[in-house]
Each structure stands twice: as structure tokens, then as C-alpha cells.
Amino acid sequence: MIIAIDGPAAAGKGTLARLIAAEFDYAYLDTGALYRAVGLAMLKAGMNPADSDQAAAASEKLDLSLIDDPALRSEAVGSAASQVASVPTVRDNLLYFQRNFAVTPPNNKKGAVLDGRDIGTVVCPNAEVKLYVTASPEERARRRTSEIQMRGEVANYATILADVKARDARDMARTSAPLKPAADALLLDTTELDIDAVFLRAVRFIKSKA
Ligand code: CDP
Ligand code: CDP
């Protein structure tokens, strides 16, 4: 069983994906972390994430240890990730790892949950379950702001809202694997739903497909 979860930044994809993976004992892959790792590697090397040739080169050898770097979650790295994510060669270079994880999940798990932007449309178009998780930009910026503040860091709501909107626009407008719901995805607008309510709806849908 492959469960694909897509949607814009801070919609609650990762939270939902982790709960689903725990419920069904499936493996979980945060595919955004792969794009973030490429962006972070470039920033660390003093490269410009807007340079497509440099981004393509940086994605040739993915440094998976960067996934555990505390800087991975910063908004600066999120922006760099969305810049490198518009480069087709970068997407191609990350595709094999993602498909392999979905088809042969680690630890002999019977299923895989992947979250990102193009899982249901490009990475796993044959996934049995596709969920598209969204929420208003204001609510997503509010969630991201409190998340950062809970880590004890300073966060400015207005800056984060502008950043979320810029990233949405870039992710939806790019020609290579743009963010959009798959035709057969269950739409979950979480603006007014708490995590438990979203999880219950998702589980009901998954059980109806099993
Ligand atoms: O956690 P958040 O939703 O803020 O972002 P993320 O999932 O970590 O993804 C960071 C960036 O990577 C996104 O803005 C996308 O541009 C890109 N991405 C992508 O293009 N395709 C994916 N499957 C996952 C992420
Ligand atoms: O993975 P993605 O960037 O889509 O979002 P996330 O990291 O799962 O969620 C972003 C924040 O929103 C987290 O702090 C969640 O606890 C919170 N959240 C929420 O308040 N209500 C929801 N229905 C889903 C997530």
C-alpha cells in the first residue's frame, strides 16, 4: 500500500503522515527534506540556490546527513528548497530514491507514506491512497509561526505569511511537477479542523481503499 500526501507548506502533511504511518505500521518519507537537503548543501557551500546549473550539480550527490541538521527546518532553507525544486534535473535526481522507498519500504514494512508536492501526480501516480491537505495561507503561516516560537526561536508572522505565499506561488506555477491535487485525491481542508479530525477522516478513507 502506498499513501501519497501532497499540499502546500505547513498544511499539516507531515503531522498527518506520521500519524498514519504509526497507525498502520508503514514507513514514512518526508520528501520535502530531500529538496531542503539540496538547498542547505548549496547555502553551506556559498552557492546561489537560484542558479539552476549549480542546483543540478548539488543534487547529484545527496548528503543524507543534512536531514538531521537543525538548520534544515529554517524558512531560508525552505525558500532555497523551493528554488532548487523548480529545476527538472534536480527533480529527476531525487525521483529514484523516492520511488524506490515507496515500492520497497525499509525494514520490510508493508506500506509507505510519502508526503510532498507531487507524490500523487508524479512520484507515485499509482498510489492506492492520495490525500491533498491544504489550509488558508493565514492559518498555515500562524501554524508555522507558533512552531518556530515553540522551538524558542524568533518568528515574525508577516514575514512568514509573505514567505508561505511566495513559496505556494512558485510551487504551483513551475512547469516541472507543479503542486496540484491529483484527480483522484481526497481533499482535506484543515483550516478549521484539528489534527485528530483530519486523522479520523484520512483513516476512514484509507480503510475504504484497503
Ligand atoms: O514543510 P513545508 O511544507 O514547509 O516544506 P517541505 O515539504 O519541506 O518542502 C520544501 C520545498 O521543497 C517546497 O516548497 C517545494 O518547493 C519542494 N518540494 C517539492 O517540490 N516536491 C516535493 N515532493 C517536496 C518538496
Ligand atoms: O508538513 P507540513 O509542512 O505540511 O505541516 P506540518 O509540519 O505537519 O504542520 C505544521 C504545524 O501545523 C505543526 O505545528 C502542526 O502541529 C500544526 N497543525 C495544526 O495545528 N492543525 C492541523 N490540522 C495540522 C497541523
Average pLDDT over residues 93-100: 97
Secondary structure (3-state) at 126: coil
Ligand nearest to the CA of residue 84, numbered in listed order: 1
The three cell numbers of residue 208 are 475504504
Beta strands in the chain (DSSP E): 2-6, 27-30, 112-116, 129-134, 186-189
- Closest to 11 in 3D by CA, of 198, 149, 156: 198
What is the per-residue pLDDT across 116-131, written as a single tens digit (0 to 9) for each?
A: 999 999 999 999 999 9
Please name the residue whose Cα sits nearest to atom 19 of ligand 1: 117
pLDDT at position 136 over 90 = yes
Helix (H, G, I), strand (E, B) or coil at 195: helix
pLDDT in the model for residue 111? 98
Which range among 49-58, 72-81, 196-205 shows the weakest confidence by mean pLDDT?
A: 72-81
Cell 537560484 belongs to which residue?
Answer: 50
Residue 178 has pLDDT above 90, yes or no: yes
pLDDT at position 75 is 84
Atom from ligand 1 closest to the CA of residue 10: 3
Kindly indicate the confidence band of residue 210, based on its pLDDT and cuts at 50, 70 and 90. Answer: confident
Q: Are strands 129-134 and 27-30 parallel, antiparallel or unpaired?
A: unpaired
Q: What is the pLDDT of residue 43?
A: 98
C-alpha to C-alpha distance for 170 and 163, rounded to whole angstroms: 11
Average model confidence (pLDDT) for the chain?
A: 96
| Nearest bound ligand to the CA of residue 12 | 2
Phi first, then psi: give them for residue 2, nearest 5 degrees.
Answer: -115, 130
142, pLDDT greater than 90 = yes
The percent of residues above 70 in pLDDT, for the chain, comes to 100
Instruction: Give the SS3 label for residue 28.
Output: strand
- Ligand 2 centroid to Cα of residue 14, in Å, is 7
Position 170 scores a pLDDT of 93
Centre of ligand 1 to C-alpha 82, Å, is 6
Q: Which ligand is nearest to the CA of 73?
A: 1
Q: What is the pLDDT of residues 13-37, one digit of tens each?
A: 999 999 999 999 999 999 999 999 9
117 alpha carbon – ligand 1 mean position (Å): 6
Instruction: Kindly state the cell numbers that stand for 186.
Output: 481526497
pLDDT confidence bin for 186, thresholds 50/70/90: very high
Ligand 1 pocket mutation, candidates 117, 119, 121, 130, criterion most atoms within 8 A of CB: 117
Kind of pairing between the strands at 2-6 and 129-134: parallel
Q: Give, using CA atoms, the residue closest to atom 13 of ligand 1.
A: 82
Domains of the chain (ranges plus CATH)? 2-209 (3.40.50.300)
Residues with CB under 6 A from ligand 2: 7, 9-15, 143, 147, 190, 193-195, 198
